[in-house]
Amino acid sequence: MSFQNPVFIPGPTNIPEALRKACDMPTIDHRSPLFGHILHPAREGVRRVIKSEGAEVFIFPATGTGGWETALTNCLSAGDRVLAARNGMFSQRWIDMCQRQGLDVHVVEAGWGEGIPADRYEDILRADTAHEIKAVLATHNETATGVRSDIAAVRAALDAAGHPALLFVDGVSSVGSMDFRFDEWGVDVAVTGSQKGFMLPPGLAITAFSEKAMDATRSADLPRTFFDVHDMAQGYAANAYPYTPAVGLMNGLNEACKMLLDEGLETVFARHHRTAQGVRSAVDAWGLELCAVRPELYSDTVSAIRTPEGFDAGRIVSHAADVYGVALGTGLGEVAGKVFRIGHLGSLTDVMALSGLATVEMCMADLGLGIRLGSGVAAAQEYYRAGAGGTDRKAA
């Protein structure tokens, strides 16, 4: 693998030089007021990125998985019932965590390639007249399948059913790259990590709690110590943590939020959509299909691409690494060997995306898939040349 080549995995993502330098800082006393000048702006930056006015932001030295555990253990009690859809590896892992915590999980099975079935959620919630379901889990962007679900529709299902359950949203591979509306969607706990849309190394579990979720923390009885938000809030009040924070990563997060907000969130989202659409244009030109079954489900951060029946998609990933020094994403779970993944999020330009597409074409040609070199790259080039507004960029 070459350090000179960008990665095309759906996280960790490429790190801009400015953020790498922000993380590389001298040691400071993390219990001094100086740390507060990093901590509080970073929390406010996250709040703005998720489009919230009043969410309580808690940042743990962990990954998105730690964020999942933070949501569950702070808001729920032993034996509580939760509603979740299984439509990919990461929704499955959150379900598994719930079960290990002793929660009663009502699992809605959805196809790997499908989104969250909000209509089925509504039926289940309407039938739950005793309000035994305490939380609804929703994976905004299923990284294993390249599927984006409609969180606004999940909130509408809760509201139509008149159900008081909390809404937990996994935004690990969406926040900072695709539109995320914490307040508007009525999200109660949002979870993400540092290594995807925030373009940082892994190491931070970033969570946001609504007022309703904070109320739930006061009666929840699942055990938590490291992930206790009340301990964290007490530390924040003193410009500190209840234990040692990842100061360099926190400084990087502060700078990452500034970078995203300076670019403008809508511009960030449009850039991701444009890059993703170029990748999808290439997939069409290759005569292949995405794992996501309908255009409205297409993710703007990762594309899971199906290979022909009987061909092990993992060979493309291995060949790219071994021969060309380029990292692509492998298939996971039920789609292992059936798809390979191209991550197109974070610090990635159209030009960088073209290099990844060219590498994929070389791999497929090398492995006998009958792909014409340049076909997908040309399709992506035509899309990128036209620009987001459809205007040809030829010189006047």
pLDDT at 2 (0 to 100): 72
Residue closest to 213 by CA, chosen among 118, 150, 134, 153: 134
Using CA atoms, how far residue 361 sits from 276, 287, 353, 371, in Å, is 17, 12, 12, 7
DSSP class of 331? P
Q: Is a pLDDT exceeding 90 seen at residue 1?
A: no
Q: Is residue 395 in a domain?
A: no
What's the rounded mean pLDDT across residues 233-260?
97
Where residue 235 sits, what CATH number does that domain have? 3.40.640.10
Nearest-5° Cα angle at 168, 237 to 297: 130
Could you report the per-residue pLDDT of 110-136, keeping only the tens digit for each?
999 999 999 999 999 999 999 999 999
pLDDT interval class at 396 (50, 70, 90): very low
Whether residue 269 is found in the same domain as residue 249: no
Q: Is residue 35 in a domain?
A: yes
Please list, in sequence order, all residues whose beta carbon lies within 8 angstroms of the beta carbon of residue 352, skipping any fewer than 6 positions away. 6, 14
What's the rounded mean pLDDT across residues 335-362?
97
3-state helix, strand, coil in the chain (%, to 5): 45, 15, 40
Whether residue 244 is found in the same domain as residue 277: no
DSSP class of 188? S
Whether residue 115 is found in the same domain as residue 144: yes
Is the alpha carbon torsion for 39, 41, 47, 52 positive or negative? positive
What's the rounded mean pLDDT across residues 373-386?
97
pLDDT interval class at 318 (50, 70, 90): very high
Q: Is a pLDDT exceeding 70 seen at residue 395?
A: no
Q: Is residue 119 in a domain?
A: yes
**Identity at 256, one-letter amino acid code:** A
Please list, in sequence order, all residues whose beta carbon lies within 8 angstroms of the beta carbon of residue 37, skipping any fewer than 6 positions away. none
Whether residue 169 is found in the same domain as residue 258: yes
Q: Is residue 11 in a domain?
A: no
Q: Which two tokens stand for residue 69?
A: 């555990």
What's the rounded mean pLDDT across residues 96-122?
97
Whether residue 85 is found in the same domain as residue 172: yes
What's the rounded mean pLDDT across residues 326-341?
97
Looking at 230, 262, 294, the residue that finishes a domain is: 262
Q: Is residue 394 in a domain?
A: no
pLDDT interval class at 255 (50, 70, 90): very high
Where residue 373 sits, what CATH number does that domain have? 3.90.1150.10
Whether residue 256 is found in the same domain as residue 279: no
- What domain range is 257 assigned to? 17-262
Q: Is a pLDDT exceeding 60 seen at residue 394?
A: no
Whether residue 122 is found in the same domain as residue 242: yes
pLDDT interval class at 6 (50, 70, 90): very high
What's the rounded mean pLDDT across residues 143-156?
98
Average pLDDT of the chain, as a whole number:
96
Whether residue 126 is found in the same domain as residue 237: yes
Whether residue 275 is found in the same domain as residue 206: no
Whether residue 229 is found in the same domain as residue 289: no
What's the rounded mean pLDDT across residues 302-315?
98
Residue closest to 226 by CA, chosen among 247, 208, 205, 211: 205
Residue closest to 71 by CA, chosen among 165, 148, 155, 166: 166
Q: Hey, how many other C-beta atoms are within 10 angstroms of the C-beta on 342?
A: 24
**Identity at 158, one-letter amino acid code:** L
DSSP class of 114? B
Please state at what angle helix 247-263 crosses helix 33-49, rounded to 10 degrees: 40
What's the rounded mean pLDDT across residues 214-233?
98
Q: Is residue 10 in a domain?
A: no
Whether residue 243 is found in the same domain as residue 382: no
- For the chain, give the percent of residues with pLDDT over 70: 97
Looking at 262, 297, 322, the residue that finishes a domain is: 262
pLDDT interval class at 360 (50, 70, 90): very high
- Alpha carbons 311 and 20: distance in angstroms, whole number: 39
Number of domains in the chain: 2
Whether residue 57 is found in the same domain as residue 199: yes
Asked if 179 and 123 count as a contact pair (C-beta separation under 8 A), the reply is no
Looking at 262, 289, 314, the residue that finishes a domain is: 262
pLDDT at 390 (0 to 100): 42
Residue 282's φ and ψ, nearest 5 degrees, are: -65, -45
What's the rounded mean pLDDT across residues 353-366?
98
Could you report the per-residue pLDDT of 17-58, keeping only the tens digit for each?
999 999 999 999 999 999 999 999 999 999 999 999 999 999
**Identity at 98, one-letter amino acid code:** C
Q: Is residue 272 in a domain?
A: yes
Could you report the per-residue pLDDT of 195-215, keeping only the tens digit for each?
999 999 999 999 999 999 999
Q: Is residue 5 in a domain?
A: no
DSSP for 95-110 reads HHHHHHTT-EEEEEE-
